[in-house]
Amino acid sequence: MTTKRVARPLWGPFVALVGLVVVLDQLSKSWIEAELSGGRVISYLGGALRLVYSQNNGALFGLFRGHVLIFGLMSLAVIALIVTFHARSGRSPYMTLTLGLLLGGAIGNAIDRFRLGYVIDFVDGGLGRARFFTFNLADASISAAILLLFAMAIWPSLVGSRGSDVGAGDAGASRTGPQPGPTAAEPGAGSDDA
The residues carrying an active-site annotation are: 121, 139
Mean pLDDT, all residues of the chain: 80
Q: What is the DSSP letter of 125?
A: E
Contacts of 123 (CB under 8 A, 6+ apart): 49, 51, 134, 135, 136, 140
Whole-prediction pTM: 0.73
Q: What is the DSSP letter of 34?
A: H
Residues 93-152 have pLDDT tens digits of 999 999 999 999 999 999 998 899 889 999 999 988 888 888 999 999 999 999 999 999
Lowest pLDDT segment from 1-15, 40-54, 136-150: 1-15
